[in-house]
């Protein structure tokens, strides 16, 4: 598939899944397997984002790319920042505007941000670039650099290729099954901390930090039910605490890869 086809597919997919995302945030989804590890991992990522936000002056300008239903945008706004969302799916942005009419959400994609150069102190993107191919990720990194102020920070998540939920392996099995059935399976960009560092430095960012969060095997444990998942988390926390991995190999095996780059 071409870069623009992959990009369009991601938008279509979120048009279809918008209600699922809305229900996840408004606590209407009871799917333990998906929602519990999602919430747990999300809270760990927010810990790192909070540390970055605390370094910014109050009222600093923040851009939330792929702002979806707007819940992350609102969380940032609640901490006193001047935040706007950019989102291409009309269904997702429709929910965001209904959920938070006081916030601003613009239509747009990550590689063509509808804002002037050097406008933002911080650009965030949670669970967005995984739907784009490498070329579009590169285009995005360049575009974000354009809208960041000098020394501005870019904070985003990616999918670790070697995460210990073995999603990489299961994704390709599922993709083959879809192909046999003549159906299109969503695109997924798998990467590594070293590859991300290389891409951002090549794009001209001055420094890059990568952090792995959450033992990915927690997702596997929740497949066995809530009780098994909760017990497993207690065990993991005894061993690894809040699972913040900054070194090889744990960083590459974690369930979430956080990338923080400075312009
Ligand atoms: C999994 S959702 C995450 C939403 C939100 N960031 C969050 O974490 O709650 C991914 C979002 O990225 C958006 N998206 C897809 N392709 C995009 C693109 N090329 N540029 C910007 N956003 C995109 C989707 O429409 C969707 O709202």
Q: Which of 154, 151, 132, 128 is nearest to 143 (CA)?
A: 154
Reply yes or no on whether the pLDDT at 30 is more than 80. Answer: no
116: Cα within 13 Å, side-chain hemisphere: 1
Q: For residues 66 and 225, what is the distance between their CA atoms, to the nearest angstrom?
A: 31
The residue whose CB lies within 8 Å of the most ligand 1 atoms, and thus the one to mutate among 66, 89, 111, 142, is 66
Q: Which residue has the tokens 């890059």?
A: 208
Q: Is residue 109 within 6 Å of ligand 1 at its C-beta?
A: yes
Question: For residue 193, what pLDDT is reported?
Answer: 98
Comparing C-alpha atoms, which of 30, 192, 205 is closest to residue 123?
205
The two structure tokens encoding residue 29:
């989804």
> 243 C-alpha to center of ligand 1: Å?
25
- Atom index in ligand 1 nearest the CA of residue 109 equals 20
Query: Phi then psi for 109, rounded to 5 degrees?
Result: -115, 165
- Written as one string, the DSSP assignment of 160-208 is ETT-TT-HHHHHHHHHHHHHHTT-PPPP--EE-HHHHHHHHHHHT-SEE
For residues 96 and 22, give the distance between their C-alpha atoms in angstroms, rounded to a whole number. Answer: 9
Q: Which atom of ligand 1 is nearest to the CA of 64?
A: 6
Q: Which two tokens stand for residue 159?
A: 């999918």
CB of 128 closer than 6 A to ligand 1?
yes
Q: Residue 29 pLDDT > 80, yes or no?
A: no
- For 149-162, the pLDDT digits (tens) are 999 999 999 999 99
- Give me the domain span that covers residue 249: 3-262
User: Is residue 37 within 6 Å of ligand 1 at its C-beta?
Assistant: no
* Surface-to-core class of residue 238, CB atoms within 10 Å of its CB (0-12 exposed, 13-18 middle, 19+ buried): exposed
> What is the spatial distance between Cα 179 and Cα 205, in angstroms, rounded to a whole number?
38
Tens digits of per-residue pLDDT, 93-124? 999 999 999 999 999 999 999 999 999 999 99
Instruction: Compute the average pLDDT of residues 215-235.
Output: 96
Least confident of 23-37, 73-87, 193-207: 23-37
Cβ(6)–Cβ(136) below 8 Å: yes
Strand-pairing partners, residue 262, are 153, 207
C-alpha 38/C-alpha 83 separation (Å) is 24
Q: Residue 174 has which token pair?
A: 């599922």
**How many structural domains compose the chain?**
1
* Under 8 Å between Cβ of 208 and 259: yes
Answer yes or no: is the C-beta of 152 below 6 A from any ligand 1 atom: no
CATH code of the domain containing 175: 3.40.50.150
Q: Does this model's pTM top 0.85? A: yes
Are the CB atoms for 22 and 69 separated by under 8 Å?
A: yes
Gyration radius (Cα) of the chain, Å = 18
Give me the mean pLDDT over the 53-76 stretch: 96
């Amino acid at each position: 598939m071409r870069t623009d086809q992959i990009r369009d597919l991601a938008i279509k997919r979120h048009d279809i899944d918008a209600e699922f995302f809305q229900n996840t945030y408004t606590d209407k989804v009871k799917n333990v397997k998906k929602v519990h590890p999602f919430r747990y991992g999300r809270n760990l990522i927010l810990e790192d984002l909070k540390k970055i936000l605390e370094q910014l002056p109050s009222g600093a300008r923040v851009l939330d790319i792929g702002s979806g239903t707007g819940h992350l945008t609102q969380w940032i706004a609640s901490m006193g920042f001047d935040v706007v969302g950019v989102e291409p799916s009309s269904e997702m942005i429709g929910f965001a505007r209904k959920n938070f009419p006081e916030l601003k959400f613009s239509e747009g994609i990550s590689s063509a941000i509808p804002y002037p150069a050097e406008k933002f102190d911080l650009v965030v993107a949670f669970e967005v670039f995984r739907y784009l191919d490498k070329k579009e990720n590169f285009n995005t990194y360049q575009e974000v650099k354009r809208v960041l102020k000098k020394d501005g920070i870019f904070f985003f998540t990616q999918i670790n290729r070697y995460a210990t939920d073995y999603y990489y392996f299961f994704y390709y099995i599922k993709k083959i099954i879809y192909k046999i059935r003549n159906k299109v399976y969503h695109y997924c960009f798998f990467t590594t901390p070293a590859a991300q560092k290389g891409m951002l430095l090549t794009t001209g960012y001055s420094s890059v930090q990568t952090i792995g969060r959450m033992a990915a095997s927690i997702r596997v444990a929740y497949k066995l039910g809530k009780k098994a998942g909760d017990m497993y988390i207690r065990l993991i926390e005894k061993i690894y605490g809040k699972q913040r991995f900054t070194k090889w190999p744990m960083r590459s095996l974690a369930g979430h890869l956080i990338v923080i780059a400075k312009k």
